[in-house]
Amino acid sequence: MSLRGKAAITGYGETAFEKNSGKNIFQLAAEASVHAIKDANLEKSDIDGIITLGPLSIDARLNLPFAEFLGIKATLVDEVSVLGASAGYALKKAAEAIAVGAAKNVLVVGSDINILKERSNEIRPFLQDYETPYALTPNNAYAMAANLHSELYGTTFEQRAKVAVDQRYNANHYDGALFGKKTMSIEDVRNSPIISSPFHLFEIVSPCDGAIAFIVSLGEDARKITNTPVFIDGAGFYNGHLTISQSEIFTNGVTTPIKKAAEIAFEMAGITTDNVDVLGLYDCYTIAVILTIEDMGFCRKGEGGRFVQEHDLTFKGDFPVNTSGGQLSVGQPGDAGAMVNIVEVVKQLMGRAEGRQVKNCEIGVTNSNGGYFSTECTLVLRRGN
Amino acid sequence: MVKKAGYEPRVEAREYWEGLKESKLRIQQCQSCERYVFYPREFCPHDFGKLEYTEVSGRAKVLAHTIVEKTAHPAYAAHTPFVMAVVQLEEGPTMMTHILDIAPEEVRTNLEVEITFNHSYDLEDPLPMFRPVNR
């Protein structure tokens, strides 16, 4: 079943993104949610569904406690737990639930605390048995992918660094970014210490506190709710593996499950890469953006490094990606991280990106990536006016 | 001393961990498709066949690697830089490991390696590590 026209984002809300907000996960979730409901000009009683994102910072699930904390009674109260892919997946699930009549206005909220401060004690089977004992962290898993990509295709440090530098330029025009007031050059990235080869520190995302919420509404009601609905026209999800040692990316030329997720989403929306005006691509590391561009089909496999070198990824450029700075510059609020990428695309499509507004923006594509290029969700979003 | 995980080994993996204590790499093989499987499962992930443990050669090749310059892991923090890698066993399955006994910058994809239990890490449970062959 295609989701085209069935559901639309009608409002969004955010907290500040801070290293130490002094607030807990429910306070942050509530703040973003109330902003989102007001943004959509809806009442509390209009919200009949909630989908939360499984947090990294606490052991609890959020869905039932948060519904009560916020004071919402609903016909849909769910939580998605696909690591960093949860943001896209939650929006997909919201659209699907609306399409089958399970709810009419779903609050999708991701909230998390800086994982350097608070970390869930949740047992992570298999990862904890066979990988963590070798000291594996995401830094190392993504570094291995970046190393292999360089070995196979000649991708360079400068190409990867340009992703972080172009996004920092974008962040310098967004007040909400954690690193928005700091400029950054290729040399700055080069001079930051190497953490796990080939990654320098400034190629690695910085965790923070924060929450983002969206309202997803029944497509046929969307234009009554807002003048600027953003339709979820395509949604594709694909889970390839969990642990990095079981991944196929090291034997298939570094092709991630994004390829299949994007194929599903693009086909559902009836678009090709030529139709895309703005992108919000999961950017936990510089290499993630390059691999996503390749696997979505904007260039051939192996040419992603050259592609980012030849294109301007800023909001002023010919290939605008992560126009608020992405997670690399805005910060990564745990499993809600991909919402940073998604909310900026929504702002662009609603015409609310202020000084960063990309002109004639009609189609946006986002990707949410979980684990180690493990679990992927691509959304095709369309301006609805 | 650092334990490999904060809980007891899984039942289906007991023979693997017991093997390591004897410096043997014992992994599962499917009794119907004959493919080797790692990490330990209940059924073969290829065809749901029955799995039996068998000792394998310990020969492998590097699929991908990174030189770790900084880690918070207590067993390894004093050993940086070291090479973390995913290797593919001669028998097919892939696994996480470290590559020892080589200058880190010399490690490349397809480097041929063999299992070693001889290392200076302070681990409570033995873990398979790999080193270049013919050295």
- The answer on B102 and B134 residing in a single domain is yes
Nearest to B65 among A147, A193, A245 (CB): A147
- The answer on B65 and B127 residing in a single domain is yes
Chain B residues whose beta carbon lies within 8 Å of the beta carbon of residue A255: none
From A4's Cα to the closest Cα of chain B, the distance in A is 35
Q: What pLDDT, on the 0 to 100 scale, is given for residue B10?
A: 87
Q: How far apart are alpha carbons B92 and B63 in whole angstroms?
A: 12
Per residue in B77-133, pLDDT tens? 999 999 999 999 999 999 999 999 999 999 999 999 999 998 889 888 889 999 999
Q: How far apart are alpha carbons A246 and A374 in whole angstroms?
A: 10
Tokens for A13? 């809300």
From B82's Cα to the closest Cα of chain A, the distance in A is 10
Whether B5 has a pLDDT exceeding 70, the answer reads no
Chain B residues whose beta carbon lies within 8 Å of the beta carbon of residue A137: 71
Per residue in A312-358, pLDDT tens? 999 999 999 999 999 999 999 999 999 999 999 999 999 999 999 99
pLDDT band at B68 (very low <50, low <70, confident <90, very high): very high
Provide the whole-model pTM: 0.97
List the end-to-end C-alpha distance of chain B, in Å, as a whole number. Answer: 29
Cβ–Cβ gap A135/B108 under 8 Å: no
- The answer on B92 and B30 residing in a single domain is no
Chain A residues whose beta carbon lies within 8 Å of the beta carbon of residue B7: 123, 128
Q: How far apart are alpha carbons A106 and A217 in whole angstroms?
A: 6
In chain B, which residue's Cα lies nearest the Cα of A134? B97
Q: How far apart are alpha carbons A355 and A364 in whole angstroms?
A: 18
Print the domain residue range for B47.
8-56
Q: What pLDDT, on the 0 to 100 scale, is given for residue B7?
A: 57
Interface test with B, best of A148, A197, A242, A252 (most B CBs within 10 A): A197
Residue B1 in domain = no
From B80's Cα to the closest Cα of chain A, the distance in A is 10
| Top-confidence residue, A89 or B119 | A89
In chain B, which residue's Cα lies nearest the Cα of A200? B69
Domain total in chain B: 2
Cβ–Cβ gap A147/B127 under 8 Å: no
In chain A, which residue's Cα lies nearest the Cα of B76? A135
Cβ–Cβ gap A135/B68 under 8 Å: yes
- The answer on B34 and B19 residing in a single domain is yes
Number of Cβ within a 10 Å radius of residue B7: 11
> Is residue A343 a contact partner of residue A87, using CB atoms and an 8 Å limit?
no
- The answer on B90 and B47 residing in a single domain is no
Per residue in A58-86, pLDDT tens? 999 999 999 999 999 999 999 999 999 99
Nearest to B127 among A134, A143, A250 (CB): A134
Per residue in A227-236, pLDDT tens? 999 999 999 9
Tell me the pLDDT of chain A averaged across its residues. 97
Residue B19 in domain = yes
Nearest to B127 among A133, A145, A251 (CB): A133
Per residue in A271-308, pLDDT tens? 999 999 999 999 999 999 999 999 999 999 999 999 99
Tell me the pLDDT of chain B averaged across its residues. 93
From A103's Cα to the closest Cα of chain B, the distance in A is 37
Residue B73 in domain = yes
Q: How far apart are alpha carbons A375 and A373 in whole angstroms?
A: 6
Q: How far apart are alpha carbons A345 and A368 in whole angstroms?
A: 13
What is the side-by-side order of every strand in the sheet holding A278-281?
A: A76-80, A49-53, A105-112, A210-218, A7-14, A230-239, A375-383, A363-370, A278-281
**Binding-face residues of B in 73-102 toward A, CB within 8 A:** 73, 75-76, 84-86, 88, 94-98
Q: How far apart are alpha carbons A199 and A197 in whole angstroms?
A: 5
Residue at token pair 């330029």 = A169
Residue B61 in domain = yes
Mean pLDDT of A91-98: 98
Mean pLDDT of B9-19: 92
- The answer on B134 and B101 residing in a single domain is yes
Chain B residues whose beta carbon lies within 8 Å of the beta carbon of residue A242: none
Decide: helix, strand or coil at residue A134.
Answer: helix
> Is residue A319 a contact partner of residue A349, using CB atoms and an 8 Å limit?
no
Q: What pLDDT, on the 0 to 100 scale, is given for residue A384?
A: 95
Chain A residues whose beta carbon lies within 8 Å of the beta carbon of residue B76: 135
Q: How far apart are alpha carbons A225 and A41 in whole angstroms?
A: 7
Cβ–Cβ gap B96/A148 under 8 Å: no
From B73's Cα to the closest Cα of chain A, the distance in A is 6
Nearest to A130 among B70, B85, B96 (CB): B96
Q: What pLDDT, on the 0 to 100 scale, is given for residue B135?
A: 59
In chain B, which residue's Cα lies nearest the Cα of A145? B64
Residue B21 in domain = yes
Residue B18 in domain = yes
- The answer on B67 and B37 residing in a single domain is no
- The answer on B71 and B51 residing in a single domain is no
Whether B11 and chain A come into contact, CB under 8 Å, resolves to no
Q: What pLDDT, on the 0 to 100 scale, is given for residue B124?
A: 82
From A136's Cα to the closest Cα of chain B, the distance in A is 8
Nearest to A134 among B63, B84, B109 (CB): B84
| Top-confidence residue, A122 or A258 | A258
Nearest to A196 among B4, B66, B109 (CB): B66
- The answer on B90 and B35 residing in a single domain is no
Q: How far apart are alpha carbons A114 and A210 in whole angstroms?
A: 8
pLDDT band at B2 (very low <50, low <70, confident <90, very high): very low
Mean pLDDT of B42-62: 98
Assign a CATH topology to domain A7-120+205-383.
Answer: Peroxisomal Thiolase; Chain A, domain 1 (3.40.47)
Q: How far from A195 is each of A178, A291, B68, CA to CA, in Å?
A: 21, 20, 7
Nearest of A111, A7, A103 to residue A50 by alpha carbon: A103
Mean pLDDT of A147-172: 98
- The answer on B66 and B128 residing in a single domain is yes
Residue B3 in domain = no
In chain A, which residue's Cα lies nearest the Cα of B129? A134
- The answer on B72 and B39 residing in a single domain is no
- The answer on B73 and B103 residing in a single domain is yes
Number of cross-chain residue pairs from A and B with Cβ atoms under 8 Å apart: 93
Q: How far apart are alpha carbons B115 and B59 in whole angstroms?
A: 6
Q: What pLDDT, on the 0 to 100 scale, is given for residue B9?
A: 74
From B4's Cα to the closest Cα of chain A, the distance in A is 5
What type of residue sits at position A308?
A: V
Q: What pLDDT, on the 0 to 100 scale, is given for residue B1?
A: 40
Per residue in A191-217, pLDDT tens? 999 999 999 999 999 999 999 999 999
Whether B6 has a pLDDT exceeding 80, the answer reads no
Residue B90 in domain = yes
Cβ–Cβ gap B84/A196 under 8 Å: yes
